Structure 1
Amino acid sequence: MRETLKKYFGYDSFRPQQEDIIRHILHKKDALVLMPTGGGKSICYQLPALLSEGTAVVVSPLISLMKDQVEALLANGIAAGALNSSNDETENANLRRACIEGRLKLLYISPEKLLAEKDYLLRDMHISLFAIDEAHCISQWGHDFRPEYTQMGVLHQQFPQVPIIALTATADKITRGDIIRQLHLVEPRTFISSFDRPNISLTVKRGFQAKEKNKAILEFIRRHEGTSGIIYCMSRNKTETVAQMLQKQGIRCGVYHAGLPTQQREETQDDFINDRIQVVCATIAFGMGIDKSNVRWVIHYNLPKSIESFYQEIGRAGRDGLPSDTVLFYSLGDLILLTKFATESNQQNINIEKLQRMQQYAEADICRRRILLSYFGETTTEDCGNCDVCKNPPQRFDGTVIVQKALSAIARAEQQISTSILIDILRGNYSVEVTGKGYQELKTFGVGRDIPPRDWQDYLLQMLQLGYFEIAYNENNHLKITSSGSDILFGRAQATLAVIQHEEAITRKGKKKKVVIAKELPFSATGGESQDLFEALRGLRKRLADQEALPAYIVLSDKVLHLLCISRPTTIEEFGEISGIGEHKKKKYGKDFVNLIRQFVE
């Protein structure tokens, strides 16, 4: 097992649980594997495939995901192919022949294609194992439900001797049970890895309006100059307006959503993978097929609908283990709209519950990572030190007067107003909605002039979280005072609010952000690493990747480039000792990289 790992993947040791999972599969037993994105799921079925007779059949939901995996395997000298509708008939015929003759170690296939081929191709093949990737798609409780996945249960009936390994990065308890039931797994062992990704920083920004959001995003991208990132938006329309805003500022940016023609979506994805664009503005339709290891940041323009979705989307950053940043923008408007969607959905109770857990995460004033981990059933006794709450613990003050002003305005408007009108009343704005109802005559009109609109947004979010009012979603989102709100309003209790932390704007000449390197990484930000050498190695990697029409990270990952920078191997043997460089890459790229390093050292 270890020899094969070193030979093909260039690693000296396994990550936690990988070895146990591989041994379990080699004993022809079923398994359900939960590992976070970037946790090394693929090796759990790729290595048993290499060590077994026959071909492993990997079921994958997206063509782009298959393409990425197959390219990475071929780059490591492993015989792999993908049978799908994007191939021409000759390609597919050659692949079928290779499978029947046993020349392919891994065959990637979509669920639809699998069902079409099970009585023909699969019957004539010697199959070593079935791997069901993104297995949460099988369950209607999962967040990416795909009806065609539900028929995968036939595999065990037709091939009872072949072990099945189901893999996913995000599944709560209900979804796990459903995956096991629907796939008819026989006495499966469930392997759950830690969901902690300490290299990813977590930040939430509350109550920003569109203009402020755009400004904050531009500053953020300038601080992360030249690095790849994804901006997730709730609507298709928003992805396009955000992309246009960035393009006007000279940022290379693409758009991805389900309403675009297939060709345009594929081009955007291809441009992003090959570093021709820096940013993709996307709906949740984007990313499942992205195995790009050097995505350095993810921004959520809106609140996601569940912690599963959020966790999977931020997991696309920092898959190589290097420091990466995530930012979530959260406003009352998002919450109101998502609650409306959840209420009108088929699974109303589940979706509302999932949204409430997401809301708790966004409004938390305790370590955010602990909330994420506890959602997936993992407890930790220590704060992470790499989220905004840990870095800037909230200070509190007596906010009774502020709360009373807001509640008084709600009461005087007979609890018939939404948050935007409430802020207009408090700020003394003569808006159409205010004057139309005569609210400018209220005693509370203008009593909160001294507080900026964004701060009012934040205070109202806090008040909602503290339970001082509720939002009647079935009554045009009107605000209703609760009994604990009444206690504050009539002076029977006091309200404590968190101080709003305003960030200092960063100019283009401003200080670069200090990078905190995760503890487990084998190098430090300064330790013997030359930026000039790193850039030279990046340039060489890009040239080699372009020659082979491959994404750069498939040639060598950023992590490997950093390790080369530090150890500076000057022989091909030393080059092959670097973690992440297998035999195939050593022979193929060793000479080029070693020559460059030698020149640099001399």
Structure 2
Amino acid sequence: MNHPITPSCNEVRTTFKKIWGYEDFRPPQGEIVNTLLAQKDALIIMPTGGGKSICFQLPALLQTGLTLVVSPLVALMENQVQELLQHHQKAALLHSELPSSQRRTTLQALERQQLRLLYLSPETLLSTPVWERLCHPQLRINGIILDEAHCLVQWGDTFRPAYRRLGAVRPALLKSKPPGTKISIAAFTATADPLAQKIISTVLQLQQPEVFRLNPYRPNLHTSVRIAWTPRSRKQQLLQFIQNRPQQPGLIYVRTRRDSENLAAWLAGMGYDTASYHAGLGATERRAVEANWLGGKIPFVVCTCAFGMGINKPDVRWVIHFHAPHLLSEYVQEIGRAGRDGKPAQALTLVSEPTGWLDPEDKQRQEFFQEQMRSQQQIAQQLVKKLPKTGEVNAVTKQFPDGATALALLHSSGQLNWLDPFHYTITSKIKNQPTTQSQAAKQMHQYLTTKQCRWQFLLHAFGFDREAANWRCGHCDNCH
């Protein structure tokens, strides 16, 4: 049984200061640390740059046993683990890009119980070599942390179906451990509206979670939306914005890999030092771009949503959305990269004129996104007829190329239960219409066209209605 010996407040503060050098917590960091030390489930929503990672790293380092950190991106894991190793802490990571020798070393350290924190993706967590070791009865696991938990909502139905199986992880692990063992689960994110919070809690099967919610408002972040009447005008506005901020660190967000490469090439042709960044680049290339940007060798990067999560550069002065994101949660994540040092920062979004006559690109992008969602739903419903009522996920994915996505979508619509992380049973007709991203996409469109204070809109959207009641930030384009 792993009844934790809870460290005293004094011990917690001393370790906090010794590792990170801070005198005291920022609220609600202290309460979150205590919640996790007491091995209670938790859902934590704090703005980007609010010090979330310390909230789960500190309890993990204070306990004997292992804490698993499920994280969506390699860059995010690498940054956090690197920092922990610099502080001489027992942390490691596992992902598909690792050389096999490093992978072996980490798996051995896991078997020998030499780790306090192990970072991995949902897919790696559910891979056979890792899962078998985690199920060893002697391996003590204190908790599972889901970092950037909004990815479960954004990607879990289609792009990363393994997210939908995470709720079955704790019960399956507990079956392999001594009776009376406790494993807590905590989900951390900067953006989750009330619906996303409900999905996260339901999928992860959180048990009476303590909920910590801080609103996303950042007083130093000045938001604005501008219409670009033609594709040429969009580029001109971008150029003018950059010219007015020479050598200031920034980020330009686009939607696709191709856009990222084309726009970076165009800006390089204009004499700017920049680079393209997207998930299709090799690990070495990605690391090089990150290092050049963090070190100030290139002032800005032209990137897709694959860039920035967990990368901490405090002095980013601006973020431009050359294309608007599809979802409000992505938008808040991405503008949150700017102004982490508390100094003024700009967040500009460029949009086509509403009719789409002069520049139909935005409209086409939106329609393509919604069409993709619809067709994936249809494929899933057609596959239902062919899938075995009870089955094993790897067998299904071997037989049907879209099998994993179909299972995730069926789980999302309440038609499927996971018996454990690998075996499912299909139950019945659609219980709940899958809350497709199209609802969320509508909200993004409303934000871009609203005449009210932009921060007031965001507070409402993320469920902070009381705070939003008479809100005027005074510094967005609409307040001006």
TM-score after normalising by structure 1: 0.60
CA distance in 1, matches of 2:185, 2:124: 18
Pick one of 371, 376, 388 that aligns with 2:462: 376
1:339–1:352 Cα contact (<8 Å) kept: no
CA distance in 1, matches of 2:247, 2:93: 32
Pick one of 100, 111, 125 that aligns with 2:139: 125
Compute the displacement of 1:94 (Å). Answer: 2.7
- Which residue does 2:448 correspond to in 1? 362
Compute the displacement of 1:237 (Å). Answer: 3.4
CA distance in 1, matches of 2:107, 2:258: 42
Compute the displacement of 1:260 (Å). Answer: 4.7
Gaps of 5+ in 1: 393-602
Q: How does 1:432-443 map to 2 (within 5 A)?
A: none
- Which residue does 1:147 correspond to in 2? 161
2:93–2:119 Cα contact (<8 Å) kept: yes
User: Is the aligned partner of 1:33 residue 2:33?
Assistant: no
Compute the displacement of 1:75 (Å). Answer: 2.6
CA distance in 1, matches of 2:183, 2:312: 28
Measured at CA, do residues 347 and 47 of structure 1 come closer, stay the same or move farther in structure 2, by a change above 3 Å? farther
Number of residue pairs matched by the alignment: 391
- Which residue does 1:553 correspond to in 2? none
- Which residue does 1:319 correspond to in 2? 340
CA distance in 2, matches of 1:276, 1:135: 32
Pick one of 58, 62, 67 that aligns with 1:51: 62
Q: How does 1:178-577 map to 2 (within 5 A)?
A: 178-260=199-281, 263-288=284-309, 290-332=311-353, 333-347=360-374, 350-378=436-464, 379-380=467-468, 381-390=470-479, 392=480
1:142–1:175 Cα contact (<8 Å) kept: no
1:142–1:171 Cα contact (<8 Å) kept: no
Measured at CA, do residues 163 and 289 of structure 1 come closer, stay the same or move farther in structure 2, by a change above 3 Å? same
Compute the displacement of 1:290 (Å). Answer: 3.0
Render the CA deviation track for 1:193-235: whole Å, top value 9, x for unaligned.
1211222111111134333332332232233322321111234
CA distance in 2, matches of 1:258, 1:53: 36
Q: Report the more deviating stretch, 85-94 or 36-45.
A: 85-94
Residue type at the aligned position of 2:30: E
Residue type at the aligned position of 1:135: A
Measured at CA, do residues 335 and 90 of structure 1 come closer, stay the same or move farther in structure 2, by a change above 3 Å? closer
1:82–1:108 Cα contact (<8 Å) kept: yes
- Which residue does 2:170 correspond to in 1? 156
User: Is the aligned partner of 1:18 residue 2:39?
Assistant: no
Q: Report the more deviating stretch, 37-46 or 146-155.
A: 146-155
1:107 is paired with a residue whose SS is strand
Render the CA deviation track for 1:260-287: whole Å, top value 9, x for unaligned.
5555444433433343322211223333
2:276 is paired with a residue whose SS is strand
User: Is the aligned partner of 1:168 residue 2:189?
Assistant: yes
Bigger radius of gyration among the two = 1
Compute the displacement of 1:53 (Å). Answer: 1.6
2:317–2:345 Cα contact (<8 Å) kept: yes
1:302–1:334 Cα contact (<8 Å) kept: no
Measured at CA, do residues 140 and 382 of structure 1 come closer, stay the same or move farther in structure 2, by a change above 3 Å? closer
CA distance in 2, matches of 1:141, 1:61: 10
CA distance in 1, matches of 2:92, 2:226: 44
Compute the displacement of 1:327 (Å). Answer: 0.6
Gaps of 5+ in 2: 1-11, 175-181, 354-359, 376-434
Residue type at the aligned position of 1:129: G
| Higher RCO (C-alpha 8 Å, min separation 6) | 2
Compute the displacement of 1:362 (Å). Answer: 1.8
1:119 is paired with a residue whose SS is helix
2:97–2:283 Cα contact (<8 Å) kept: no
- Which residue does 1:430 correspond to in 2? none
TM-score after normalising by structure 2: 0.75
1:139–1:150 Cα contact (<8 Å) kept: no
CA distance in 2, matches of 1:320, 1:81: 28
Compute the displacement of 1:320 (Å). Answer: 3.5
CA distance in 1, matches of 2:202, 2:38: 21
2:155–2:161 Cα contact (<8 Å) kept: no
Report sequence identity in percent. 38
Compute the displacement of 1:358 (Å). Answer: 1.8
Render the CA deviation track for 1:553-595: whole Å, top value 9, x for unaligned.
xxxxxxxxxxxxxxxxxxxxxxxxxxxxxxxxxxxxxxxxxxx
1:387 is paired with a residue whose SS is coil
